[in-house]
A and B are shown apart, each in its own frame.
Chain A
Amino acid sequence: MEKIIDLGQYVAMFVNWLMDFGRPFFDFLKNSGNGFIDSIEWVLTATPFYVVILIFTLLAYFKAGKGVALFTVLGLGLIYMMGFWNDTMVTLALILVSTITALVLGVPLGIWAAKSPKADKAIHPILDVMQTMPAFVYLIPAVLFFSVGKFPGAVATVIFAMPPAVRLTTLGIKELPKDVIEAALSCGVTGTQLLFKVELPLAMRTISTGINQTIMMALSMVVIAGMIAAGGLGEQVLAGINNLDIGLGFESGLAVVILAIVLDRITQAFGNPKDKINNK
């Protein structure tokens, strides 16, 4: 079919211009981002595996109960014994960095959208688009601006994993009972006091659900980011597929699933603290 409009050409022109123009800025982002990722990765890999397993098991035990703790110790132990410990820590580091960044950007955005109907109107459709796009689409701009490696992997992950953090923060604040907010206002709270003393603590349950979803989405994206040489379990999965190595594919896939379950159960437990405030 004949091309009537060459949209791609204009986009390419624009991106090229942006890359030339913003080179110093992008380089700065990449360097500091890589520094962050490397230091987290260094901490995780330098810590002996049994200490990491112990920390996760204790967290699981105190927050999520005995069953989850048992699963954690067995699951992570299996990962170690299969020889995927290092890759798992690399993946975990990328998840941590991406999640933290997604939250640092997403939660304030969510608060803003909850407070300003105009901001909400602008942010809402963007989030909708972000969530309907297939995950690997995010790899394209990341690679364009930052080539391959861990940092573009993290960038794609942040963009992909941010929507639930924004959405559920907005929801958590907006769904609060009107009379509780009015009660705070009638006591003479400032905007900041309202946010930090009433809205955020009360919305925390919903926001935790958002955090949990963000972590899970980050995990799935980090694996996909193996396609652009982000390292970790993703690259092992990819290698398994490319070489038709069923054994490698199965083992690395299993490691991803174990990591997913452990992270999910522990972060979910943070959202449902077993205290008396929430036992409605």
Chain B
Amino acid sequence: MKDSIKIRVKDLTLIFGKRKKEALRLLTKGVSKTEILKKTGCTIGVDRATFDIKDGEVFVVMGLSGSGKSTLLRCLNRLIEPTAGEVFVNDDNITKKNNKELLEIRRSGMSMVFQNFGLFPHRTILSNIGFGLEIKGVDKKERLIKAQEAIETVGLQGFGEQYPNQLSGGMQQRVGLARALANNPEVLLMDEAFSALDPLIRSDMQDELLDLQKKLQKTIVFITHDLDEAIKMGDRIAIMKDGKIEQIGTAEEIITNPQSEYVEAFVEKVDRKTIITAETLMFKKYVTCLYAKDGPKGVLRKMREASVEVLPVIDENHKFKGFIWLNDVLSTQEEGKTSIMDTVKEEVPKVFPDCTVEEMMPLTTATKSPIAVIHPETGRLLGIISQVSIMIEATRFDKKEIIDLKKQSKEQ
């Protein structure tokens, strides 16, 4: 993901109904939606949505059915004409484009994938995939080459001459995806693209899209009503309710810090241990010992001051060496040694910042040691996670899992 902004949405509002102007006026005055519906007969589809989508990001919009996700998405390529507000793509104001410019954007800049696939039943798979190129006026030869490329990208070689209804749902959606990719757009709009598929096929398609995304680096706006899918797919997630964006953030940000009761209720059932990472859990203001420099006396003083029994040890480059325990330091001092280099335990649990609680659980049961969080490349110490904090996180787990955890730690 690059850090530049691809799509900027500002105060985007969509109102269904005849008396849009009046409804908009009431909306900006703060009148409630039910009141607006009563007074004007207008439904608020999207209510002043403002957000940025980064280049190469998978941006998920999640919300219950009827929350306005599809409407919001269709405002981006103006399949639905926004009532107010602006959409910029590459700093280009989409809402100000004339018809011809708009067609150009749909033909080359943005493609869309639909929940029920939206394939053309009277055309072969190849001709479905080449449709976008055909209407652009690309000649037949080039069309076939590009469609063939796209068909291979989604793994449907050999099915080019078949018709959509001869294919299974998962395969049909591959065709939908290939049709969108054949135009080589910068932005992919996906409206519940996997929601109509069986769970297993759905999971496969999610994995494949993520794989593909690693190579293609498109900007993807991905709509879903399923939180698990949102967490799996999204670099960032926007949670929508009644046409309003309630909160935007990474899955972890939203789960650890829900900003409204609605979001909190939504994320309550999430399997936290697969999402909370070492980075969130780790303690950063720790005291350290220096491997080649500190002697037993200094270490004991540091332990007394921090009132702890174990400290992390680093070298002069802040690289993590291991942990040192109070009892070991005391013996070292009795033996009259002046270096702690032999006293440091180097075989201790170490994890990278993106390691999840679930992945750390085996480490907590195997030893009483704290866990060091280190930088994946340099090995620098970033933070420390105590067994206690993992247990606290664990108390949010199911009861059965906690009992299992306790049993395992007793067996040790």
Q: Which of B74, B115, B120, B183 has a CB less than 8 Å from the CB of A180?
A: B120
Please report which residues of chain B, range 67-112, place their CB below 8 angstroms from some CB of chain A when the two chains form the complex: 74, 77, 79, 102-108, 110-112
Contact A198 B132 (CB under 8 A): no
Q: Are A202 and B77 in contact (CB under 8 A)?
A: no
Using known A-B contacts A182-B79, A276-B163, A280-B165, determine if residue A188 contacts B116 with beta carbons closer than 8 Å.
no
Q: Answer yes or no: B131 CB below 8 A from chain A CBs.
A: yes
Choose one: A183, A188, A189; the contact of B114 (CB below 8 Å).
Answer: A183
In the bound assembly, the distance between CA atoms of A138 and B404 in angstroms comes to: 88
Please list the residues of chain A having a beta carbon within 8 angstroms of any beta carbon in chain B: 177, 179-180, 182-190, 193, 197-198, 201-202, 276-280
Contact B112 A190 (CB under 8 A): no
Q: Which residues of A contact B108 (CB under 8 A)?
A: 188
Residue contact B119 to A183, C-beta cutoff 8 Å = yes
Cα-based distance from A280 to B163 in the complex (angstroms): 11
Docked Cα-Cα span, A201 to B108, in Å, equals 25
Q: Is B135 an interface residue (CB 8 A)?
A: yes
Instruction: State the CA gap A279–B122 with chains docked (Å).
Output: 11
Select one of B117, B135, B189 contacting A188, CB under 8 A: B135
A contact residues around B183 at 8 Å (CB): 187
Binding site secondary structure of chain A: helix
Instruction: Identify the closest chain A residue to B111 (Cβ).
Output: A186
The docked-state distance in angstroms from the alpha carbon of A186 to that of B183 is 11
Cβ of B162 to closest chain A Cβ, rounded Å: 8
Partner of A187, one of B106, B117, B121, B163: B106
CB of B114 within 8 A of CB of A179, answer yes
Known: A277-B121, A277-B163, A280-B165. A185 touches B79 (CB 8 A): yes
Known contacts A186-B106, A187-B107, A277-B163: A177-B116 contact under CB 8 Å:
yes
Asked whether any CB of chain A lies closer than 8 Å to the CB of B259, the reply is no
Max chain A Cβ within 10 angstroms of own Cβ: one of B120, B134, B136 = B120
Query: Bound state CA distance, A126 and B189, in angstroms?
Result: 43
Contact A188 B120 (CB under 8 A): no
- In the bound complex, how far is the Cα of B108 from the Cα of A193, in angstroms? 17
Q: Which of B104, B122, B179 has the most CB of A within 10 A?
A: B122
A280 — which chain B residues lie within 8 A by C-beta?
Answer: 165
Q: In the complex, what residues of A have CB within 8 A of residue B118's CB? A: 177, 179-180, 182-183
Instruction: Please give, as numbers and ranges, the residues of chain A lying within 8 Å of B102 by CB-CB distance.
Output: 188
- Which residue of chain A has its CB nearest to the CB of B124? A277
* A188 CA / B107 CA spacing, docked (Å): 5
